[in-house]
Amino acid sequence: MHAAARQGFAKEAQAYARGRPEYPAALADWLTGTLGLGPGRAAADVGAGTGKFTKLLAATGAGTVAVEPVDAMRAQIEAQRLPGVRAVAGTAQAIPLPDGVLDAVVCAQAFHWFAGREALDEFHRVLRPGGRLGLVWNVRDESVDWVAALTAIITPFEGDAPRFHKGDWRRPFPHPSFGELVETRLPHEHVGPPQQVIVDRFLSVSFIAALPDAQRAQVRAQLEALVATHPALRGRETVRFPYTTLAFHCERH
Please determine, for residue 20, whether its predicted confidence score (pLDDT) is greater than 90: no
Q: Count Cβ atoms below 10 Å from residue 62 Cβ, excluding itself.
A: 23
Q: Which of 27, 66, 44, 39 is nearest to 127 (CA)?
A: 44
Q: Count Cβ atoms below 10 Å from residue 175 Cβ, excluding itself.
A: 18
Angle between helices 71-80 and 3-11 (to 10 degrees): 40
- What is the CATH number that goes with domain 3-141+160-190+242-251? 3.40.50.150
| Percent of the chain at pLDDT exceeding 70 | 92
Round to whole Å and give the CA distance between 51 and 17: 8
- Pairing type for strands 85-88 and 127-140 reads unpaired
Q: Give the pTM.
A: 0.91
pLDDT for the residue numbered 8: 45
pLDDT for the residue numbered 206: 83
Please determine, for residue 2, whether its predicted confidence score (pLDDT) is greater than 60: no
| Percent of the chain at pLDDT exceeding 90 | 83
Please determine, for residue 108, whether its predicted confidence score (pLDDT) is greater than 60: yes
Helices (H), 155-205: 194, 201-203
pLDDT for the residue numbered 18: 63
- Higher pLDDT pick, 57 / 5: 57
Helix (H, G, I), strand (E, B) or coil at 139: strand
Lowest mean pLDDT among 9-13, 45-49, 62-66, 246-250: 9-13
What is the tens place of the pLDDT at every residue in 153-182? 999 999 888 899 999 999 999 999 999 999
Helix (H, G, I), strand (E, B) or coil at 217: helix
Round to whole Å and give the CA distance between 28 and 60: 8
Please determine, for residue 12, whether its predicted confidence score (pLDDT) is greater than 60: no
What is the tens place of the pLDDT at every residue in 48-77? 998 999 999 999 999 999 999 999 889 999
Round to whole Å and give the CA distance between 5 and 220: 19
Summarize the confidence of residues 79-100 as an average pLDDT.
96
Output Rg (C-alpha) for the chain, integer angstroms: 18
pLDDT for the residue numbered 10: 46
**What mean pLDDT is reported for the chain?**
92
- Higher pLDDT pick, 20 / 81: 81
pLDDT for the residue numbered 205: 87
